[in-house]
A and B are shown apart, each in its own frame.
Chain A
Amino acid sequence: MAEKLGVYICSGCEIGKNLDVEALAEFVRNGKHKAICKLVKTNAVLCSPDGRAEIEADIAAAGLEGVVVCACSPRAKWEVFNFGPKTLVGRVNLREQCVWSFEDDPKFPDLMTVLAKDYINMGIMNCSKSGIPEPEVPEVCQTIMVLGGGFTGLTAALNAATLGKEVVLVEKEDALGGYAAKMYKSFPLAHPYDQTQDTGIDKLIGAVTDNPKIKVFTGAGLANLEGAPGLYKATVKTAAGEEVLDIGAVVLATGWTRGEASFLEPLGLGKLKNVITTYDLEKMAKNGGIVRPSDNKPAESVAFILDVEKCMEGVDWSRGEVCEPVEPLPAEAAKKEEGAEEEFVYQDLESAKHISYSSEISSLVALKQAGYVRERNPNALAYILYDHMMVPGINEKYYKAAQDNPGIMLSKARVTEIAEGAGGGLSISAKNTLIGESIEIQADLVVLPTAVVPVTAHEPTINLEYRQGPAFPDLDLFDGFADSNYICFPYETRRTGVYAAGCVRQPMTMATCREDAAGAVLKAVQCVNSANHGVAVHPRSGDKTFPVFNFVRCTQCKRCTEECPFGALDDDEKGTPKPNPTRCRRCGTCMGACPERVISFANYNVDQIGSTIKEIKVPDKIDEGGPRVIVLACENDAYPALDMAAMRGHKWSPYVRFIPVRCLGSVNAIWVADAMSKGIDGVMLLGCKYGDDYQCHFVKGSELCSRRKENIAESLGRLGVEPERVEQFEVSIDDYDKIPGMIEKFMNEVISKYGPNPFKGY
C-alpha cells in the first residue's frame, strides 16, 4: 500500500490540445485521493529530460513511494519513466486510450474529460495498491542432471561441465553412446556437408568419462524427481540400488525408439523376408556385409523406399478445433469422482505419422546407406524412390553428391506394390516416376525407413512427483515429442526446470542435436541461476514477485493446484496448496482461479484490480451519461494491439475502459461480479488464441478463462444479470485493425439486446 504518490500529467502528444490538463490536475488535488497524492503536476513534455529530472527530484525531496505518469502507453518511453527498483510507477495511458482513439458521442458533453478522470483515478488506485516485491531466495543446488547418454546427452553433459557445473548423467543401457554408437557411419555433420563421415561418438564418450565434473550412471533410470528447480531430489535406480541426489535442473535427452513394425506392414515389412528397415541395414553394415535375410546372398540391388504414402491411409491430420467445447474445470471433474483413488494411465502416442515426421532423417539415411551398398560392392545398384527428397537446407549438398554416384538411381515415385520377385528377390511397382508412367524394379532387398518415435510417446520418462502427474502435459499436441508449442521459444514447456533436447524433442540429425544440447543446457543453467536469485524465468524473466497465499481463508477447493499451467502447486498432507516458487512463472492463473481470493502478488492482486474497477464512475442511468463497458486486456498481445490501433488512427466508443491484466488466466470472477454490481453494462475479455495452436504465453491462461465462464455465468445468474454481458474474444497482437470493430459490435449488442445493467444507480 503506497501512501505517498506523485501524479504527473503530460500535455504533449496532443493530450494538452484535447484535454485541460490544469483542470485535471485540480481534479486530482481536490479529488477523493487527495490524501495520498502528495504532489500533482503538469508538464508540457513529461518525457523530455527536464520532465524526467523534475520527477526524479520530487521523488528524492518528497520521499515519494510511487509516481503516476499520466501520459502515453506503458509500452512507450519505458526507459524514461523508470526510477529504479524502489519507486513504483503507474502509467495512465491518456495518449493512446483517451486522446488518440476518442470517438465523440454528441449526446453528452465533454466525454473525453470524463474518460480521462476515470483513467487517472484508476491509475492512482492501481499504483497505491501496488507494492515492491521482496524475492524469496532459496538455497539452491546447481547440479545439472542429463537424462540419456546418447549423442545429445553426452554433448549436453560436456557443455554443462565446461561451464563449471557439476553434472549427473543417467543412461538406461549399460554402455554410453545411444544409437550413434550402433551406427556404422553418419551422413555429414559439418562443412562441406557432402561426405559420409565418422560419428565421432567414441571420442565423445571418452571426453565424458574422463571429465571429473561428470558423474555417470549406466544401467540406470530416474525413478522419481521430486521438488522444484534448484531443489530437486532425484532418485536414481541402478542394479546396485537407489541413490537420492540433489539436482538443480534437468536436460532431457532420452532420444527415440524405432517405430512399430506394424505401421510399415502395407509396404511388406513382416510379410516379405527381404523387406527390412534402415535400422536393420545399419546393423548389417556395421557388422559386416549387406545380405538378403532369406538366403544370406550379398545384395546386388537394394531399393530404398521413401514414399510411405501406402502407410498413411486413414491417418487423421486435422488439428483440434480452435474453440473446443467447454469441458468442466479439472477441479469440478475431480469432485465427481471423489473418493476414487486417481490412477495415472499413460496414453501411448505412437502412430503412423511418426514415419512421415522422420522424413528428413529417412532421406539422409537412404542417401547414406545407398553409399554403403556401393562401397561394399562397386557393381551393386541402389535405388531411392521418394515422394519428396527431404533434404532441406545445407544437406542438399549431400543429395547432390549422391546424384553424381553412377550406381545410385534416384526417382520420384508413388510406390504401389512390393511383392515377391524372381530369384528370391523382390519386385517393386511404382507410378508417376521420372523414368516412366508406371515401372517395375527388381531388387534383392527393399529397405524401409525407420520411424523416430520419442521415448516420451511411450512413457512419462521424467517421473515427476507433481500433483499434476509425472509427465509433460499436452504431449498429444506434439504426437508424443517433448516439444514446445512456441516457435520463438523452443525450450519453453509447462514444466519449468526440465529442458528437452535431441530426438526426444523433434526428429533431428546429430548436427542439430549438437546445437540443441547447447541450447537446453543454457536454459537449465539459467533456470538454476534464476532460482538462486528468487526471480522468474521466461516469459516474465527477472520478475521478483511470487504468489503469496493467505492460507487462513483457503477452503482446500484445489482449483489453483489443478489450474496452474506449470504444475507449480502441490497439495500438502491436509490438502492445502503447497507452492513451489521456483516452478512458478508468475502468470497469476492461481489468483484468477481462487474463489476465496487467497492468492496475491506484491504488485498484482485481486483487491488492486477490483478497486481499480470500482474507480470507474458509472452514471446512474444510461441516458445521463451513456453506458459503461470494461475491457480486461492481456498485457502481452491485446494491449499492444490496442496501442497500435490507436497509432493507426482507429477510434472507439468513449464508454469503454481498458484494464491490462497479466494474462486472462489471472482474471478473478469477483472482478466481473464487482463490475456488474456497480452497474457496468458489459465486460469484454481480450486474450490470446487458445486450442491446439494456442498463443497464450502462459499456455493455458486464456483457455482457462474461457472455461471459467461457467462459474462467472453462474454468479451473474445469482445476481440476476444476463451472462451474455460478459464475452471473451481471441485477439492477436496484429489484430489492430479488427479490435475497433469488435468493440463496436459488442457495445451495440449488449446495449440493444439487454439494455442497461439493472444494478445501475444502486
Chain B
Amino acid sequence: MSNNSILVVGGGFAGITAALEAAEIGHEVFIVEKNPYLGGRVAQLNKYFPKLCPPSCGLEIQFQRIKNNPKVKFFTLAEVLSVSGSPGDFTVKIKLSPRYVNERCTACGECEKAASTLVENEFEFGLVKRKAAYRTHLFAFPMRYTLDAAKCGADELRRIKDSCPYDAIDLDDAEKTIELNVGSIVLATGWKPYDVAKLGELGGGKLANVITNMQMERLASPSGPTNGKILRPSDNKAPRKIAFVQCAGSRDQNHLNYCSYICCMASLKQLSYIREQNPDALVVVYYIDLRTPGRYEAFKRRATDDKKLLLVKGKVAKIVEDAGTGDPTVTVENAVTGIRSEERFDLVVLATGMQPSIAGRDVPAGVSLDEDGFIISGMDKGFIAAGCAKLPLDVMKTAQSGTGAALKAIQTVVGR
C-alpha cells in the first residue's frame, strides 16, 4: 500500500502552493522550511510587477488556507537530513533546530527589548542589525519570536528568559530529529540572490551606495528598515540620481550563465517605487536587452513613458566611489554609439539575479542538477521540482509550477 502523503521541501511560494493544492484534494502534506517563517523570498518583496500589489495580500490567503486545512502541517527551522526508500514509500529524517521560543509566545516583543546582542539581519540584507531575540518581519507566519541563543552569553539569556511574561522562552530547547513517511517529495527550495561580493568591479558589497535590487525592495517596503523611504545607506539622503545596472552577475559565463528572468521587470517596478517618492529623480537603466515577455510589454510601455528615465544599452564595466561624497561613478560603454563614458550617481542598484539555493549542495540520490544548480531530473524517482529550484521564474509562473507539481506529486502516490 502506497503512502498518500506528500513532503514539500521549501515553504516559499512554490512550496506553499504545491502543498495547498495537494491538500485541497485531500492529501496530507508536510512543509519543511529552513527559515523561522513561511513565505520565502516573496515575503521580502515590497510589490509585485506588473500589478504593483503587495505580496502579503496573496500570502494572507495562503496562510488562511493553511489555518483552515488540518491536512497541512508545517515545520519551520527545519531541514531534510536524509531520504530513503522509493516512490510511494519514502522515509525522511528531518532536523528541527531549536527556536528557544515555544508556542506560548504572544509576539509581545519583551524578549527583544531585553536582548542586547546585535547581529546581522538576513531578512533586511544587512541594511540594519537585529537583536538576538527577534521577529523577522511584521507579517511573519507563524507569528512567533526566535532566539539566537548561540549568539548570547548566559547572563543575557537569563535576562531574556525573565523578561517574557508568558514563560515562552525555553532555554532547554534542543535540536530534534523526526521521521516522516511520505509517498512523494516536492523540491521547492527556491533561490538566493547572487552573491554581489563576487561582482568586485561593480563595488558589490563594498560601496555603501551600491545596493542590490533585493535591498531596494526592503528600502521601499513600508515595514522595512526605513519605513518605506528610499534613502541611500551612506548618509540617509533621498537619492535624486539613480542608476540600475541590469544583468549584474547574470548572462555571464563567469557568474550565472543564464538570464534570471525577473530583473528587468523588477527594475521597471522599482522605478515606480522611486516615482512615487520623487517624480523628478533622474533614473538611468543600463541594460543588454530589456526582457519583458508576454503581456508584460504593456507594463514596460507604461513604465518607460517617463521623461526622466534614460534607457541605455550598454555594459557597465566598473563602479568606483567618490571618497568625499560617497557618490558612485559608473563607467559604461554604450553598445550602440560605442562611446565610453563615466557618470556619477547618488545611488546605484545592481539588478542581481537568482541562483538556485541548492546549487553546490547535496541532493538526494535520484535527483540531478544542471551546471548552474537547477534541478533537471528526479521525477521518475518520486522527486518533483517546483518554482525557482527548477528554472528562473516569476511569481505567476512559480504559482503555475507549484500547482503542476502538486499534480505530479499526487500522480506519484496514486495508481501505484
A binds B: yes
- Name B59's closest neighbour in chain A (CB-CB): A488
- Are B415 and A353 in touch, CB under 8 angstroms? no
- Answer whether residue B257 sits at the interface, using C-beta atoms and an 8 A cutoff: yes
Q: Which of B48, B108, B264 contacts A487 (CB 8 A)?
A: B48
Q: How many residues of B contact A (CB 8 A)?
A: 84
B61 to chain A, nearest CB (A): 5
List the one stretch of B202-210, B222-230, B272-280, B358-366 in contact with chain A: B222-230
- Are A508 and B294 in touch, CB under 8 angstroms? yes
- Are B106 and A732 in touch, CB under 8 angstroms? no
Per the 8 Å Cβ criterion, residues 474-518 of A in contact with B are: 478-479, 481, 483, 485-491, 506-508, 512, 515-518
Q: Mark B234-278, 1 if CB is under 8 A from A, else 0.
A: 000000000000000001000001111100100000000000000
List the one stretch of A25-33, A393-401, A587-595, A617-625 in contact with chain B: A393-401
Q: Mark B333-346, 1 if CB is under 8 A from A, else 0.
A: 00110000000000
- Are A162 and B25 in touch, CB under 8 angstroms? no
Q: Which of B64, B221, B407 contacts A518 (CB 8 A)?
A: B407
- Answer whether residue A204 sits at the interface, using C-beta atoms and an 8 A cutoff: no
- Are B251 and A396 in touch, CB under 8 angstroms? yes
- Name A529's closest neighbour in chain B (CB-CB): B25
Q: Which of B60, B257, B305, B400 contacts A490 (CB 8 A)?
A: B400
Q: Which of B67, B222, B370 contacts A79 (CB 8 A)?
A: B67
Task: Pick from B57, B222, B301, B405 the residue with the most CB of A within 10 Å.
Answer: B57
- Answer whether residue B397 sits at the interface, using C-beta atoms and an 8 A cutoff: yes
A648–B353 Cα distance when bound, in Å, is: 32
Q: Mark A351-376, 1 if CB is under 8 A from B, else 0.
A: 00100110110000000000000000
- Are A512 and B166 in touch, CB under 8 angstroms? no
A517–B408 Cα distance when bound, in Å, is: 11
Given contacts A489-B399, A519-B407, A733-B56, contact A541 B65 (CB under 8 A): yes
Task: Pick from B46, B301, B376 the residue with the most CB of A within 10 Å.
Answer: B301
- Are A518 and B404 in touch, CB under 8 angstroms? yes
Per the 8 Å Cβ criterion, residues 1-31 of A in contact with B are: 12-14
Q: How many residues of A contact B (CB 8 A)?
A: 90
A15 to chain B, nearest CB (A): 11
Per the 8 Å Cβ criterion, residues 608-654 of A in contact with B are: 636-637, 640, 644, 647-648
Q: Mark B60-75, 1 if CB is under 8 A from A, else 0.
A: 1110110111000000
Given contacts A360-B293, A412-B336, A693-B51, contact A516 B404 (CB under 8 A): yes
- Are B396 and A487 in touch, CB under 8 angstroms? yes
Q: Which of B295, B313, B392, B400 contacts A516 (CB 8 A)?
A: B400
Given contacts A47-B106, A506-B294, A530-B24, contact A734 B403 (CB under 8 A): no
Q: Mark B297-314, 1 if CB is under 8 A from A, else 0.
A: 110011001000000010
Given contacts A478-B295, A734-B223, contact A522 B259 (CB under 8 A): no
The interface residues of chain A lying within 8 Å CB-to-CB of B25 are 522, 525-526, 529
Taking chain A's interface residues, is the majority helix, strand, or loop, or is none over half, making it mixed? loop
Task: Pick from A163, A393, A542, A736 the residue with the most CB of B within 10 Å.
Answer: A393
The interface residues of chain A lying within 8 Å CB-to-CB of B374 are 394
List the one stretch of A384-392, A596-604, A752-760 in contact with chain B: A384-392
Given contacts A357-B297, A392-B261, A736-B222, contact A644 B407 (CB under 8 A): no
The interface residues of chain A lying within 8 Å CB-to-CB of B138 are 644, 647-648, 736
- Are B415 and A526 in touch, CB under 8 angstroms? no
- Are A162 and B391 in touch, CB under 8 angstroms? no
- Are B391 and A539 in touch, CB under 8 angstroms? no
A618–B54 Cα distance when bound, in Å, is: 37
A737–B152 Cα distance when bound, in Å, is: 33
A522–B251 Cα distance when bound, in Å, is: 34
Task: Pick from B56, B290, B335 the residue with the most CB of A within 10 Å.
Answer: B56
- Are B403 and A518 in touch, CB under 8 angstroms? yes
The interface residues of chain A lying within 8 Å CB-to-CB of B396 are 487-488, 490
A707–B61 Cα distance when bound, in Å, is: 26
- Answer whether residue B13 sits at the interface, using C-beta atoms and an 8 A cutoff: yes
Given contacts A488-B58, A636-B60, contact A47 B222 (CB under 8 A): no
The interface residues of chain B lying within 8 Å CB-to-CB of A751 are none
Identify 17 residue pairs between A and B in the complex whose beta-carbon atoms are under 8 Å apart, listed by A's number: A12-B166, A14-B108, A48-B166, A76-B106, A159-B407, A190-B376, A318-B302, A357-B298, A390-B291, A394-B259, A397-B258, A515-B401, A519-B404, A636-B57, A636-B64, A648-B138, A737-B228
Using a CB–CB distance below 8 Å, which chain A residues touch chain B?
Answer: 12-14, 45, 47-49, 72, 76-80, 159, 162-164, 190-192, 317-319, 353, 356-357, 359-360, 386, 388-397, 412, 432-434, 478-479, 481, 483, 485-491, 506-508, 512, 515-519, 521-523, 525-526, 529-530, 537, 539, 541-542, 636-637, 640, 644, 647-648, 689, 693, 695, 697, 732-737
In the complex, besides A163-B415, A515-B400, A519-B401, 9 extra interface pairs with C-beta distance below 8 angstroms are: A13-B106, A45-B106, A163-B407, A163-B414, A507-B294, A522-B21, A689-B53, A733-B54, A734-B222
